Structure 1
Amino acid sequence: MKDSHKFTIINDPIYGFITLPQGLLFNLVEHRYFQRLRRISQMGMSYLVYPGAHHTRFQHALGCLYIMGKACETLRGKGVAISDAEMEAAQAAILLHDIGHGPFSHAMENSIVENTSHEEISLRFMGKLNEEFNGSLTTAIAMFTGSYPRRFFHQLISGQLDMDRTDYLKRDSFYTGMAEGNINTDRILAMLNVKNDQLVVEEKGIYTIEKFLVARRLMYWQVYLHKTSLVAEQLLVRVLKRAKELTLAGQELPASSSLQYFLRDDISLLPFSDDAMEVFSNLDDYDIVMAMKYWCDHEDFVLRKLSAMIINRHLLAIKIKKKPFQEDFIKAKLEEVQIKYQITKKEAQYFVFTGTITNQAYTFTKQGINIITKKSKIIDVIEASDQLSLKPLSKVIIKNFICFPKKQGDL
């Protein structure tokens, strides 16, 4: 039997020492499902823009576990009754919230696994782990899904001021070198409280929350929606789609057995069998990179060129503007590629395509960020703020983009 007094110390570059006690949390971290997150990048293809952005979902999840513990301790200190079992469940839920992410975080959701999301797959993984750990995650799953009676726990896990956002803004800012995203995590946690079973922020912490929302807005435009990162992720999605198209047409592509499984079959959440879950648990960034290196020499023009673009960082050009692009402009770009490379319109559409990007730093919902005044009145942060610049943060900003080959060179 393991000594319950033993613990493991992890040295995190953001928070310093993270203590991981023996027991459920330690065993979850040690599990191979969770260890896979060491091989899943936190920011997808952003390392092509920010060379330091090679951190992983594993690091992010550990950071979330740490600050969830700090948040629970803060609330306890303010008289909020949180049992040891509830605190462990909340930490387990936030630890596993990203366990369903596929290679490069979001690429598979938009390419070879249809009609599903990483949140849904995460819930499936949590269910399998709950069976393996004899029901130890039942409360954590209830908190994750929002069915646990004490609603503020779900807000800490999945809300507009949750521990997920609180960690990834600070962590991504650190690894990209973008100081604009460096929020004051300690101050945010110190200002948390619970009123009427909902998470609130004490009035004196309003300026820290304003900084948090502005930082989120800036990080999206400057980092998460950076035009080069956007092009790279769009190319990766199209690499996988083309690989699946060729595989379903009968071609054998060099790839790991795990990747070939998802290329061969039409996979969605509904028929996501135990076999599919097991294969998915072995799939990571390395499978995709290895496959693309092979595909750089493939006879198919589209697959070869798309793979080489990512491997060699020879990406498409991109234009972004508020209004949609004219059909004549899109048509001209497609025809130019068709004629130059003697390919079909369908093939040319892998190199000339349009889309939209959206940025909304704050949403008016039931799980908004609430400020509690000194008179115990609860008001939304946008209404409580005396900064006029905060109000536009709730507006949905939609921009249009078009990608196409650069003029000066070949594909």
Structure 2
Amino acid sequence: MASVSSSNKTTIINDPIYGFITIPNGVIFDLIQHKYFQRLRRISQMGLSYLVYPGAHHTRFQHAIGCLGVMQKALKVLVDKGVTISEEEKNGVLIAILLHDIGHGPFSHAMEHSIVEGVNHEHISLLFMESLNEEFNGSLTLAIQIFKGTYHRAFLNQLVSGQLDMDRTDYLKRDSFYTGMAEGNINTERIVAMLNVKDDELVVEEKGIYTVEKFLVARRLMYWQVYLHKTGIVAEQLITRVLKRAKELSHSGVQLHSSAALSHFLNYRIGVENIEKSLDIFSQLDDYDIISAMKEWCSHEDFVLSELSKCVIERDLLKVKIRKKPFKKSKIALHKAMLMDTYRISEDEASYFVFAGTISNQAYNYKKGGINILLNNGKIIDVVKASDQLSLKSLTKEVVKNYLCYPKVKG
């Protein structure tokens, strides 16, 4: 049973990206030790991207600890530049960044579109933080305000959730390292060194503009080459469909082999209105539950569930085509008809294997709070206006592409 320590126990974690990261105080140490946070060791940071990039086996736990380390550096930089930040505010923002991803389910986003309905990981993260706040006697109250963006000093929330926050600063560099994609290797140290605060808003000093440009370009490249890689898209869609099919069968009375935690979410309708009651069960759910279940389901008598499970476990994925124009309905229908004829399955069953969708990439969204450059004359302007790089403006435009997935022809 977890207990809350009152000591100033500190420890050091050796991170492959930044080196030694010091855990600054007893509360943060105890939060890291808590079962809710330790679960993140069993949640992949990049879902099934390791099916494309074999090195991408790093976890949400590593990312969260990395964010903590970067945030500590950012706070030191700001304080050294004369920004007044109280010890309570420092602790609040460190806890907020540490726990910002605590609500992620198995394989990250796949869970949000399958066995829970209309519940995103940010909402679950907030529920976890509120639960921990009760357990830690109100120690997370300020962290929750910063996380929600209700605290009056905007720059603290911008450090946690903004266009140039410590979350993005860590995951771009970390994901680049573990995938081997050098295009995403941003200069985290310089980004942090260029940060400043004016009128309680986060700004970047003018001499850091080229580093910000590199950051935005790296983000665009990482999305197209890694996060939106066509094989990764197929893999995530497959695991989402595995869980949907499993839930559909469970609701029709079929008993499926799975862990107690996964069984709970397969058998009950869990949405925004009742997820809080299932929070402790959710905290027992991780990637291992899903992988273990799919290994069992590979031999299930249901054609859809078994074939989808085998696709993921054996990495025998669907074919995927990506293009700018939407695919014709007649083309999708043709692929379904071929599948229905070959395996004697219904159109509804065929829809699990033949489907179309869209992906989008917008490296910089200034409408959601842009990246402000503090010029040497004291004026503040958006990075796009401050930059002499004409291509930077194009990064503000959302690029949408269409994809079509369908089975390989086996003969």
List per-residue Cα deviations over 1:42-64 (Å, max 9, x = no partner): 00000000000000000000000
State the alpha-carbon separation in 1 of the partners of residues 327 and 405 from structure 2.
Answer: 11
SS of 1:113 mapped into structure 2: coil
Match of 2:198 in 1: 195
Question: Are residue 379 (structure 1) and residue 381 (structure 2) matched?
Answer: yes
Match of 2:358 in 1: 356
Aligned residue runs from structure 1 range 390-409, under 5 A: 390-407=392-409, 409=410
Q: TM-score normalised to the size of structure 1?
A: 0.98
Match of 1:171 in 2: 174
State the alpha-carbon separation in 2 of the partners of residues 18 and 167 from structure 1.
Answer: 13
Distance change (3 Å), C-alpha of 1:337 and 1:3: closer
Match of 1:54 in 2: 57
**How far has the Cα of 1:269 moved from its partner?**
1.4
SS of 2:23 mapped into structure 1: strand
**How far has the Cα of 1:273 moved from its partner?**
3.5
Question: Which contiguous aligned blocks of 4+ residues in structure 1 show a shift greater than 6 angstroms?
Answer: none
Match of 1:101 in 2: 104
1:389 to 388, 391, 400: 391
Match of 2:317 in 1: 315
SS of 2:366 mapped into structure 1: coil
Matched-pair contact (CA < 8 Å) for 1:231–1:403? yes
1:181 to 180, 184, 189: 184
**How far has the Cα of 1:365 moved from its partner?**
2.0
1:43 to 39, 42, 46: 46
**How far has the Cα of 1:21 moved from its partner?**
3.1
Q: Which amino acid aligns with 2:196?
A: N
Matched-pair contact (CA < 8 Å) for 1:2–1:22? no
Question: Are residue 241 (structure 1) and residue 244 (structure 2) matched?
Answer: yes
Question: Are residue 214 (structure 1) and residue 249 (structure 2) matched?
Answer: no
State the alpha-carbon separation in 2 of the partners of residues 5 and 266 from structure 1.
Answer: 43
State the alpha-carbon separation in 2 of the partners of residues 204 and 7 from structure 1.
Answer: 36
**How far has the Cα of 1:386 moved from its partner?**
0.3
SS of 1:161 mapped into structure 2: coil
SS of 2:275 mapped into structure 1: coil
Q: TM-score normalised to the size of structure 2?
A: 0.98
Match of 1:280 in 2: 282
State the alpha-carbon separation in 2 of the partners of residues 313 and 331 from structure 1.
Answer: 25
Match of 1:119 in 2: 122
Matched-pair contact (CA < 8 Å) for 2:127–2:276? no
Matched-pair contact (CA < 8 Å) for 2:78–2:196? yes
Match of 1:63 in 2: 66
CA RMSD in angstroms comes to 1.1
**How far has the Cα of 1:4 moved from its partner?**
4.8
**How far has the Cα of 1:23 moved from its partner?**
1.1
Aligned residue runs from structure 1 range 77-156, under 5 A: 77-156=80-159
State the alpha-carbon separation in 2 of the partners of residues 185 and 328 from structure 1.
Answer: 48
**How far has the Cα of 1:109 moved from its partner?**
0.1
**How far has the Cα of 1:110 moved from its partner?**
0.4
**How far has the Cα of 1:271 moved from its partner?**
1.4
The gaps in structure 1 that reach 5 residues or longer are none
Aligned residue runs from structure 1 range 260-279, under 5 A: 260-274=263-277, 276-279=278-281
List per-residue Cα deviations over 1:94-139 (Å, max 9, x = no partner): 0000000000011110001001100000000000000000000000
Matched-pair contact (CA < 8 Å) for 2:60–2:101? yes
The gaps in structure 2 that reach 5 residues or longer are none
State the alpha-carbon separation in 2 of the partners of residues 365 and 372 from structure 1.
Answer: 19
Match of 2:341 in 1: 339
**How far has the Cα of 1:327 moved from its partner?**
1.3
Matched-pair contact (CA < 8 Å) for 1:4–1:21? no
SS of 2:353 mapped into structure 1: coil
Question: Are residue 157 (structure 1) and residue 178 (structure 2) matched?
Answer: no
SS of 1:80 mapped into structure 2: coil
State the alpha-carbon separation in 1 of the partners of residues 358 and 276 from structure 2.
Answer: 33
Q: Which amino acid aligns with 2:283?
A: S
How many pairs are equivalent? 408
